[in-house]
Amino acid sequence: MDVYAADVEQKMQRFFGWLSEKDRRRYAAVEAAKLGHGGVEDIAQVLACDPQTMRQGLRALEEEEEAAAGRLRTKGGDARRSPSPSRPWKRTSAPCCRSAPLAIPCAKACCGPT
């Protein structure tokens, strides 16, 4: 039984190939759920995937969002990481190189030409 038109099936297969394994399970499960009874077998044939994989995706989609939210990565990497230390060589309080010698000569007028 042809559920979708041939061009739609090709687009579904192409999109399916772009997804990660976890997202493939979920996408296949959503498509199967849209078809209702017999949808798992139909989508398994269209997407060439195991029906058991889709059933696993259906179970994952039925989980509560709160349980799934705890497994998501935080934006920007490790949010618990402490900020980088300030640069110890940066001297902001010294008005001139005469009061605090620097590795690079001062270009201020009070110190003379460099």
50 domain residue, yes or no = yes
Q: Using one digit for the tens of pLDDT, what is the confidence trace for 34-87?
A: 999 999 999 999 999 999 988 888 888 888 665 555 555 556 655 565 555 555
Q: Could you give the C-alpha distances from 100 to 19, 64, 74, 86, 110, in angstroms and in order?
A: 59, 61, 43, 18, 14
Q: How many domains does the chain have?
A: 1
Q: Does residue 90 have a pLDDT over 60?
A: no
Higher pLDDT, 103 or 31: 31
Cβ atoms within 10 Å, residue 104: 7
Q: How confident is the model at residue 15 (pLDDT cuts 50, 70, 90)?
A: very high
DSSP state, residue 2 = -
**Model confidence at 88: pLDDT above 60:** no
Q: What is the mean pLDDT of the chain?
A: 76
The answer to the question of residue 37 being in a domain is yes
Asked whether residue 104 is assigned to any structural domain, the reply reads no
| pLDDT at residue 4 in the model | 87
pLDDT of 96 higher than 70 = no
Give the long-range contacts of residues 17-24, CB within 8 A, separation 24 or more: 22/60, 24/49, 24/53, 24/57
Is the model's pLDDT at 108 over the cut of 90?
no
Neighbouring C-alpha atoms within 13 Å toward the C-beta of 58: 15
Does 93 reside within a domain? no
Which amino acid, residue 90? K
pLDDT band at 107 (very low <50, low <70, confident <90, very high): low
Candidates 38, 58, 44; CA nearest to 12 is 44
In a domain? residue 92: no
What range does the domain containing 19 cover? 6-64
In a domain, 55, yes or no: yes
